[in-house]
Chain A
Amino acid sequence: MSKIGVVTFPGSLDDGDAARAARISGAEVVRLWHADPDLHGVDAVVLPGGFSYGDYLRCGAIARFAPVMETIADAARGGMPVLGICNGFQILCEAHLLPGALTRNQHLHFRNRDQWLRVENSSTAWTNHFTEGQEILIPVKNGEGCYVADRRTLDELEAGGQIVARYIRGNPNGSSRDIAAIRNEAGNVLGIMPHPEHAVEALTGPSLDGLGFFSSVLKHLADAKAAA
């Protein structure tokens, strides 16, 4: 069984939900601790949402220097699938594993609602279960989710198919080009602002669309093992 590690930083909020979503999808979950650089043999890592280190200075700026992040950054550069959700996306940008940055919502309000997204790229480790153009509904909840990058970087993201999901039927935070999720060039690192881990059960979520991210990585890992 593939092992998915879920990191807990001081101030993480959604580590429990992320672990639960991974478990429901059929993964063995390993809880990772910010101060422990050991990844304990996991095959993939989720950086969950929340307010790591109180979001002091900038969101994700201090988490980037956590001992576990140095190991994760090396592993990510070596091809390990890494999913950053919300605060996790901010951490990936601060760690320069993804380009650009996430800034204060343009309207300055915290936004918490169910949000429609269009999946733009299904060639990543985390989105291969979706079809391109598929519309999915998952919760968004952020105060600093406005994705920004210079025009050249945005154009490169577009040209390289690195925009993985866009907000549709309303942009909740002013994000450039309606960007909700991006991937690195290799496709193993994905940052997403909305929360797939909150859409995995009918009782608590608006859909089960979030499961697709976790089943995608399990398929990706199984295919990689079969090919090895």
Chain B
Amino acid sequence: MARVVVDVMLKPEILDPQGQAVANALPRLGVNDVASVRIGRRVEIDFAGDADLERAREIADKLLANPVIEDYEIRVVEAA
């Protein structure tokens, strides 16, 4: 089995109110030196055979990320 990881993040210019809410909560933990927090999504795709980066890219492009508001990065991860 081969694992491909897709990290999906909101584009930098898109407001991330979830990230802001987390950032605003940090002072309550005593953390005061964080400038910004942004939240994304990690998707793990396990291929039955070899890792198929092209196919993973297609999945990311068509379904996992919305290119209007999100960017994504793809990488193969060695199975544990």
Contacts and interface: CB of A to CB of B under 8 A. Distances in A.
Interaction A to B:
yes
A104 B66 contact: no
A155 to B, nearest CB: 15
Interface stretch (A57-65, A130-138, A192-200): A57-65
Given A61-B63, A65-B63, A93 B68 contact: yes
A108 interface: yes
A106 interface: yes
Interface residues of A, number: 20
A61 B65 CA distance: 9
Interface string B1-45: 000000000000111011001000000000000000000000000
A107 B17 contact: yes
Contact of A57 (B15, B17, B64): B64
Question: Which bracket fits the contact residues of B?
Answer: 10 to 19
B36 to A, nearest CB: 16
B17 A105 contact: yes
B69 interface: yes
Contacts, number: 33
Interface in A81-101: 93-94, 99-101
B43 to A, nearest CB: 9
Most chain B CB within 10 A, of A58, A62, A107, A174, is at A58
28 contacts: A57-B64, A58-B66, A61-B63, A61-B66, A62-B63, A65-B63, A93-B68, A94-B66, A99-B68, A100-B68, A101-B66, A101-B68, A101-B69, A103-B15, A103-B69, A104-B17, A104-B18, A106-B15, A106-B17, A107-B17, A108-B17, A108-B18, A148-B14, A148-B15, A148-B68, A149-B68, A150-B13, A174-B15
